[in-house]
């Protein structure tokens, strides 16, 4: 087997599409290992003396706290940077910012709107750049999701994951991650809110190579039948607040509630990347119920992010 410590060191983490099935599984294994160390109180300063710059142009709870605490637990130093803290806010180019930060830091995590900005940052930085979320993709979230599914189910390959809601950045990364690791992924969304056609096409091709399927449908009940995992996200993401009212009407039937959960397998688990708008995309009864793995999933962001940083930096 290839030594993952050498194949991953120094790489950017922009999309799960860029990583092999073995590399993604290695990150999940490492996340499990680091989680076990935390639970036993064993120190693991794998990034002692290293620093991570964290650029946020979008607000965050889980991404900020998990990366900040994560690098600290790995023995490194986090720097929280917003547009107001950087000259980016006054017109310095992304390329120049990347070149300068590369001289000071050992890695950059960025959470922003434009995926193109993250690609430009990575193209000009000489240190690893981690995509903490863009409007197009959310790959770090999906490493934690896959970790949580395997923790609960013991396997990944051959499982059926149904995502209910908007064909957004999370849906895109779930299709890539699922396809890479052999999960059948169904996206159930209203017409006009499907995932991007080029991402769907790429994910289907990857799935074909790994003996699984990616489907998109507007029939939410059919999609929920036989699911091992039901997954949802907010109906209106950051930047879509103006459409929130319209989306509430369009998505009203795309809710994970106890009726939908009954259509899935008896031992199905429920995931949500959070924050949740309770009573919209998911009911209290489900998110707080016995089949919910939502808060384990949130916790696993910490361990997954640590694995990504430790492997890349």
Note the pLDDT tens digit of each residue in 207-256. 999 999 999 999 999 999 999 999 999 999 877 888 889 999 999 999 99
Q: What is the pLDDT of residue 2?
A: 57
**C-alpha atoms less than 13 angstroms from C-alpha of 145 in its C-beta half-sphere:** 30
CA distances from 18 to 121, 129, 198, 287 (A): 17, 13, 15, 32
Residue with tokens 């830091």: 105
Position 186 pLDDT exceeds 50: yes
CA distance 120 to 141: 21
The reply to whether omega before 275 is within 30° of 0 (cis) is yes
Strand ranges of the sheet holding 184-188, from the earlier edge strand across to the other edge: 214-217, 184-188, 160-164, 229-232, 269-272
The confidence band for 89, taking pLDDT boundaries of 50, 70 and 90, is low
Average pLDDT score over the chain: 96
Per cent of the chain over pLDDT 70 is: 99
Q: Assign 1 a pLDDT band (cuts: 50, 70, 90).
A: very low
Q: Quick one: tokens of 268?
A: 């199905």
Q: Say if residue 171's pLDDT is above 80.
A: yes
Whether residue 60 has pLDDT greater than 70 = yes
Beta partners for residue 110, in sequence order: 55, 131
CATH number belonging to the domain at 140-298, selected among 3.40.50.10860, 3.40.50.720, 3.40.50.300, 3.40.50.1370: 3.40.50.1370
CA distance 308 to 66: 12
> Do 309 and 71 touch, CB atoms closer than 8 A?
yes
Cβ neighbours around 25 below 10 Å, total: 17
Fold annotation for 4-137+301-312: Rossmann fold (3.40.50)
Which is nearest to 234 in space by CA: 193, 204, 266, 267? 193
Q: Give all strands (DSSP E) within 197-281, no chain letters.
A: 214-217, 229-232, 269-272
If we measure between CA atoms, which residue out of 240, 230, 129, 245 comes closest to residue 187? Answer: 230
Asked whether residue 275 carries a pLDDT value surpassing 80, the answer given is: yes
What's the CA gap between 109 and 129, in Å, rounded? 6
Catalytic residues: 111, 138, 141, 233, 273, 301
* In the chain, ranges of CATH 3.40.50.1370 domains: 4-137+301-312, 140-298
Say whether pLDDT at 33 is over 80: yes
Percent of the chain with pLDDT over 90: 91
Count helices and strands (H / E) in the chain: 13, 9
State residue 37's pLDDT score.
98
Pick the range with the lowest mean pLDDT from 82-91, 92-101, 119-128, 146-155: 82-91
User: For 103, phi and psi rounded to 5 degrees?
Assistant: -80, -20
């Amino acid at each position: 087997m290839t030594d993952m410590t050498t194949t991953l060191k120094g790489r950017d983490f922009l999309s799960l599409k860029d990583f092999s099935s073995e590399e993604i599984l290695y990150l999940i294994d490492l996340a499990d290992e680091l989680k076990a160390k935390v639970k036993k109180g064993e120190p693991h300063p794998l990034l002692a003396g290293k620093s991570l710059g964290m650029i946020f142009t979008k607000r965050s709870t889980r991404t900020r706290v998990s990366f900040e605490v994560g690098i600290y637990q790995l023995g490194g130093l986090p720097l929280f940077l917003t547009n107001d803290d950087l000259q980016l806010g006054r017109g310095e180019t992304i390329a120049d910012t990347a070149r300068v930060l590369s001289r000071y830091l050992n890695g950059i995590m960025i959470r922003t709107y434009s995926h193109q900005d993250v690609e430009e940052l990575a193209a000009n930085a000489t240190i690893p750049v981690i995509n903490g979320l863009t409007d197009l993709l959310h790959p770090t979230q999906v490493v934690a999701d896959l970790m949580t599914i395997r923790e609960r189910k013991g396997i990944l390959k051959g499982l059926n994951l149904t995502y209910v809601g908007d064909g957004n950045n999370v849906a895109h990364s779930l299709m890539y991650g699922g396809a890479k690791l052999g999960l059948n992924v169904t996206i159930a969304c209203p017409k006009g809110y499907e995932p991007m056609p080029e991402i769907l096409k790429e994910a289907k091709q990857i799935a074909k190579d790994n003996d699984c399927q990616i489907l998109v449908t507007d029939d939410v009940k059919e999609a929920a039948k036989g699911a091992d995992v039901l997954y949802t996200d907010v109906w209106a993401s950051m930047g879509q607040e103006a459409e929130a009212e319209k989306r509430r009407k369009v998505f009203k039937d795309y809710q994970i509630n106890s009726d939908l959960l009954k259509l899935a397998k008896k031992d199905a688990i429920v995931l949500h990347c959070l924050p949740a708008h309770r009573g919209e995309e998911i009911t209290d009864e489900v998110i707080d119920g016995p089949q919910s793995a939502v808060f384990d999933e949130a916790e696993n962001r910490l361990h997954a992010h640590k694995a990504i940083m430790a492997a890349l930096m």
